[in-house]
């Protein structure tokens, strides 16, 4: 009876089979069913690992690997506080291929226009990158930023929310001095 139920309900273990036997008026406990289960060599099939999505919605590969300088730049904010409690933002721009920090712009408040103001001199100095990787922060998804990127010919790459490790190498870190 145990083998028949195990074949019929392939994903059930010995405890669930014991419950089904009791429903059919068999007087068994789970320990007896477990002993029979082991003697017959029954076991549950291995669970498949959860598969993660490999592609973005637009069918592009999640992690575009840089192949040369000015291929992919990563931009992100680092937040910190001064001794007096006032907070400030640092916009970091990183060339992912060379791992060179191209700019660190520090301000108390930074909007999309301020990000563009920080990026423009970099384009003049280093040339135009093919891609800019950023998170979905309001400064990076603003319409002014998107229009400017399209005019200049830079393709934006978005990282998934909750996965900041996708954005560059995070070489620049805020440290409080003693």
**pLDDT tens-digit readout, 149-170:** 999 999 988 876 655 555 554 4
- What is the span of the domain harbouring residue 12? 2-39
Specify the residue for token string 């992690």: 63
Crossing angle (nearest 10°) for helices 30-39 and 14-23: 120
Number of domains in the chain: 2
* In-domain check, residue 141: yes
CATH code of residue 95:
3.30.420.10
- pTM higher than 0.85: no
* In-domain check, residue 156: yes
Same structural domain, 8 and 87: no
Residue 27 vs residues 18, 21, 30: alpha-carbon distances, Å: 9, 8, 10
Same structural domain, 35 and 79: no
Q: Where are the alpha helices (DSSP H) in the chain?
A: 2-8, 14-23, 30-39, 112-126, 138-141, 143-152
Output the pLDDT for position 163.
57
Same structural domain, 99 and 13: no
* In-domain check, residue 172: no
Same structural domain, 91 and 160: yes
Whether 174 contacts 106, CB under 8 Å: no
**pLDDT tens-digit readout, 44-63:** 666 666 665 544 555 444 56
Same structural domain, 88 and 140: yes
Same structural domain, 139 and 77: yes
The pair of three-digit structure tokens given for residue 146, joined into one six-digit string? 């998107």
Output the pLDDT for position 85.
87
Same structural domain, 162 and 79: yes
**pLDDT tens-digit readout, 57-97:** 554 445 678 889 999 999 988 888 888 989 999 999 999 88
Whether 175 contacts 87, CB under 8 Å: no
CA distance linking residue 5 with residue 98, whole number of Å: 62
* In-domain check, residue 174: no
Q: Which residues pair with 107 in a beta bridge?
A: 89
Q: Where are the alpha helices (DSSP H) in 25-108?
A: 30-39
Same structural domain, 32 and 81: no
């Amino acid at each position: 009876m145990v083998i028949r139920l195990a074949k019929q309900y392939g994903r059930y273990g010995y405890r669930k089979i014991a419950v089904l036997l009791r429903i059919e008026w068999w007087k068994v406990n789970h320990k007896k069913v477990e002993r029979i289960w082991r003697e017959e060599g029954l076991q549950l099939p291995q669970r498949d690992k959860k598969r993660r999505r490999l592609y973005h919605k637009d069918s592009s590969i999640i992690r575009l690997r840089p192949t040369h300088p000015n291929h992919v730049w990563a931009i992100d904010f680092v937040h910190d506080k001064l001794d007096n409690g006032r907070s400030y933002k640092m916009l970091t721009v990183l060339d992912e291929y060379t791992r060179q920090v191209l700019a660190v712009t520090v301000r108390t408040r930074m909007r999309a226009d301020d990000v563009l103001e920080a990026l423009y001199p970099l384009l003049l100095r280093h040339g135009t990158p093919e891609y800019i990787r950023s998170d979905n922060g309001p400064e990076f998804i603003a319409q002014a930023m998107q229009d400017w990127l399209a005019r200049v010919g830079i393709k934006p790459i978005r990282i998934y929310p909750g996965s900041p490790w996708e954005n560059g190498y995070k070489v620049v870190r805020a440290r409080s001095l003693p």
